[in-house]
Amino acid sequence: MLSYSFGPYVLVPERQSLMRDHTTVRVGSRALEILAALIERPGELVGKAELVSRAWPDTFVEESNLKVNVAALRRALGDAPDGTQYIATVSGRGYRFVFPVSVSGQSDASATARSQDARAHNLPVPTTRLVGRDHSVDAIRRTLEASRLLTIVGPGGVGKTRLALAIAGRLTAAFEHGVWFVDLAAVNDATLVPTSIATAMGLRVHSANIKAAIAAFAADREFMLVLDNCEHVIESVAACTEALLAAAARVRILATSREPIRVPGEQVYRLPPLDAPPEMSRLSAAEALAFPAVELFVERAAGSCDDFMLNDGNAPVVAEICRRLDGLALAIELAAPRLDAFSASELLGFLTEQSHVLTDWRCGDSRHHTLAATLGWSYGLLAEPERVLLRRLSVFAGAFSIESACAVAVDKGRARSDCIHAVANLVAKSLVSTERGEFGTQYRLLDTTRTYVQQKLAESGEDDSLRHRHAEHLLELAKRAEAEWKIRPTAHWLADYGRKMDDIRSALRWALSGNRNAALGVALTVAALPFWEHLSLVEECRAAVEIALSSRFTKLRNAGDDMKLQFAYGTALLHTRGPLLEVQAAWTTALGCAESLRDTDYQLRCLWGLCDYFTWTGDHRSALAMAEKFRVLATDRGDVDARNNVDRQTGTALRYLGELAEAQRHLERMIARYIPPVARSDIARFQLDPRSAARGTLANVTWLQGHPEKAVAMAQRQLEEARAAQHALALCNAVVHTTCPIALLTGDLAAAERLLVGIEAHVAEHAMTVWSAMSRCLRAEWLLQGDDASGLPMLRSALDELLAVHFRMRCPFYMGIYAAALGTHGDVDAGRTAIDEAIALSASTGETWCMPELLRIKADLLSKESTRRTTEAAEALYMQALDLARRQGALSWELRAATALAEHWLRTDQGAKAAGVLAPVYRRFKDGFATCDLLKARTLLNGLGDAGKRRAATASYAPSGNTSSPEQ
């Protein structure tokens, strides 16, 4: 294993060990990963994104986490022997390890490289060498340095894809955020082009506007997209390309197409065929090999025929073959392997006979005819079983396994071994290509070959029967995939099933168009729901479900289908458009179906979903009722996990209803009873990591109850758990509902800013519409706390966006912040209108946890007018706020109300009363004395004078006629 020595230190990354003079240096595992990444490449700049992906693989973290860990490393390492630091910062870009390093031992470098590559790109591994394209590679690379969009244009079979992949493979290290290959050959629906791009990049989109989501994701990233086979969806590709290039200055796009994309700034490279010999009488072997077309032919022929050698005798014949094939790479690759059965002269004869065939196939460039003729000739030379298999394999839109090939292409009663043997023969003859991956081999037909043999399939009369067989196979595959999701590692599951979406789309398009087999199409839609869910294709799922739920298919659906489709529809709508009324309708319908079928699993899912829906809409009484129904059903069913986890939903509802002690009891009970699942099912079942989400709600309750430091610590723990969960919603929940609000409530604007930067990037990356609006509420609050009036229009706009989709949770609180800020910036009348709106919304929804604060803000606005009437009204509101906060157990609101009332009495020359109301509340705090509210109260108490302090020491103030000490 490798060890790295520098100064007095020795680092062994594989052991996570850092030693100084034989003594262990205690550094966190994340910091050690960062050190290893830097020290493996001493002197080189290592970008921030690469370091984050190394230390936090597949997990979102803010950039501040990287800075914190680098700072911890520097403290642990101290100064180098020469007095400098070991790690240098390259401002805005990353870090360098700048001290000499010596390396000893051995390590599996290839495994490390594979691990890095897996995160840097998704390029297929080439199985053959690129021949004769050095000039093209150099020309395109030079153009890409100056242009952000380059399209390789040429006829089918000329080698566009192979060239693009070769260039992309050489540029993986040049782009900080990777190189991503998007195969559009299987995409026949132009509306799915944005989805295909997002999927290729591993982007999970929770928005109806996927194109905008991709643009937002790309805005501050540096990566290259390879868009392959664009010609049949050229308009959609053009729209996506324009949006990406407009939004992201550091994105490059390399496309392949039979025609230009035609967007501003596009550079076109017209790829010529490989140079082939001109017509001449004789060429020596050496002279012939100087032509790339001959070089490719010889290399491919030698690969299938061990004893083939180019010599002066056969060189003229090979040269003529390449000339007749117009230098088309695919045509040459199809012809060369046939030297295993024919001589070069016989091969030339066959090609001469075939040259007139299929001249109407794909009109246009005459080279299309050459390729068609070559395909026809290759197809004609196959044995009949191989021809049958090849045309049957054309029903696969994307890659397929040998198992799938046998399931679809082999007739009942026939041996699978025949299919396996025939696939091997087709691979040898370059008619089927292979893709070898970590979890097995997949096969596919090139787009040109598939198009040709699909015509043959249609002519055979088998097209509908094979597509029916294909759809039935995918139905069975989808059912198996759903069953295996909870028990198999994610990487294994995705390797087997993640690439089946192109085939599912193809099968659905066939089954549902023209009602060829609508019943099978509806069944496949239902079975495919887990695919859309686990691949985060939320908007595509919504569109497919809408079709399956249309009235024309009513008779083809049973209650179980309706149950699953309605549930999926509600889920997709909630996460892409917000808690619209249609979400409640869909989940209510699904619940009715589940009850009629006595399907308790789906009853629980629907009740949980409805509980979430009512929480989002601010109807916490209804959420509480749904949570209780869930609890009863889970108890009757004996589902202990579900029964325990619903305490989180109950606690959340009670928190918003202002019943803090009861909320605390339910949340603490849930956290204490929670047992982490062995499988991943809890996050899928309950949308978030239940314990982490409960801890976040409890942190909010804890702050309200007057324990700021404890709340901050609890919020930080939830944030760490959410990052570890690698779940987009879990992170939003932790930051938007807990960590950032608590940072703002405690006055830690620096921490809030760090969190906001991270979560803004996160919601943009995943296009999470509702969460984006909530994060803008937080950003506006941060601006307003810094006395920046630009927060006012931002907050109003975000609130309007939330209310438009019926999202009301926390909205009364943010409306109160808006009202207070209006008053601070001089528009008291507008502030009073806004605070009345906030109080009315709080009262109508029952979301009264923030009512004491709203009453305080209204009193503050009234106190800005100096009339006797408004002064008395403000004082009454302050007392009402104090009384309600006391009854809720919200000590933090009580402190704010007491501080505001004390300030009010100071302005009206009632200083003694001011001390009497504030001091007893202040004394009840046990921590958090450095937070903003307690600092303000302490400053105010200090300013009241010795007399006020002595009075405060012996007096207390009890609203509502209660004369007992608040400490009793």
Give the DSSP letter string of 130-152: --S-HHHHHHHHHHHHH-SEEEE
Sign, CA torsion 847/853/855/857: negative
What DSSP state is assigned to residue 517? S
Q: What's the pLDDT score for residue 695?
A: 92
SS3 category, 19: strand
Which CATH number fits the domain that encloses residue 399?
1.10.10.10
Q: What's the pLDDT score for residue 769?
A: 80
Shared-domain flag, residues 137 and 226: yes
Q: What's the pLDDT score for residue 27?
A: 77
User: Whole domain around residue 389: which residue ranges?
Assistant: 383-458
Pick the closest to residue 603 from 574, 575, 564, 640 (CA basis). Answer: 564
Q: Is residue 205 part of a domain?
A: yes
Shared-domain flag, residues 197 and 240: yes
Q: Is residue 192 part of a domain?
A: yes
As a whole number of angstroms, the distance between CA 363 and CA 756 comes to: 56
Maximum Cα–Cα distance for the chain, whole Å? 118
Exposure string of 789-828, with b = 16+ CB inside 10 Å and e = fewer, is eebbebbbebbebbeebbbbbbbbbbbbbbbbbbbbbeeb
Shared-domain flag, residues 253 and 387: no
Domain-terminating residue out of 116, 136, 158: 116
Which CATH number fits the domain that encloses residue 197?
3.40.50.300
Q: What's the pLDDT score for residue 684?
A: 45
What DSSP state is assigned to residue 256? E
Q: What's the pLDDT score for residue 438?
A: 63
Shared-domain flag, residues 222 and 354: no
Shared-domain flag, residues 295 and 338: yes
Are residues 301 and 337 in contact, defined by beta-carbon separation less than 8 angstroms? Answer: yes
Domain-terminating residue out of 270, 288, 321: 270
Which CATH number fits the domain that encloses residue 602?
1.25.40.10
Shared-domain flag, residues 266 and 135: yes
Q: Is residue 31 part of a domain?
A: yes
Angle at 487 between CA 484 and CA 492, to 5 degrees: 70
- pLDDT tens column, 736-749: 999 999 999 999 99
As a whole number of angstroms, the distance between CA 242 and CA 488 comes to: 40
- Terminus-to-terminus CA distance in the chain, angstroms? 65
Q: What's the pLDDT score for residue 112?
A: 34
Q: Is residue 526 part of a domain?
A: no
Shared-domain flag, residues 110 and 202: no
Q: What's the pLDDT score for residue 267?
A: 93
Residue segments in the chain with a per-residue pLDDT below the cut of 50:
58, 107-119, 355-364, 678-686, 947-952, 954-968
Shared-domain flag, residues 155 and 248: yes
Q: What's the pLDDT score for residue 837?
A: 96
Q: What's the pLDDT score for residue 110?
A: 36
Other Cβ atoms closer than 10 A to 273: 23
Side chain identity, residue 114: R
* Token pair recorded at residue 757: 């930067």
Q: Is residue 84 part of a domain?
A: yes
What is the residue-wise DSSP string for 783-844? HHHTT-TTHHHHHHHHHHHHHHTT--TTHHHHHHHHHHHHHHTT-HHHHHHHHHHHHHHHHH
Q: Is residue 220 part of a domain?
A: yes
- pLDDT tens column, 777-821: 999 999 999 999 999 999 999 999 999 999 999 999 999 999 999
As a whole number of angstroms, the distance between CA 140 and CA 150 comes to: 8
Shared-domain flag, residues 266 and 163: yes
Shared-domain flag, residues 368 and 440: no
Are residues 331 and 303 in contact, defined by beta-carbon separation less than 8 angstroms? Answer: no
* Token pair recorded at residue 884: 């309600």
Q: Is residue 708 part of a domain?
A: no
* Token pair recorded at residue 621: 């009484």
What DSSP state is assigned to residue 126? P
Q: What's the pLDDT score for residue 364?
A: 45
Total residues found in the chain within this entry: 968
- State which H helix or E strand residue 781 sits in: helix 769-785
Shared-domain flag, residues 13 and 97: yes
Please count the structural domains in the chain. 6
Q: Strands 9-12 and 252-257, how do they pair?
A: unpaired
Q: Is residue 826 part of a domain?
A: no
Q: Strands 87-90 and 94-97, how do they pair?
A: antiparallel
- pLDDT tens column, 243-265: 999 988 999 999 999 889 999 99
Domain-terminating residue out of 412, 443, 458: 458
Shared-domain flag, residues 131 and 255: yes
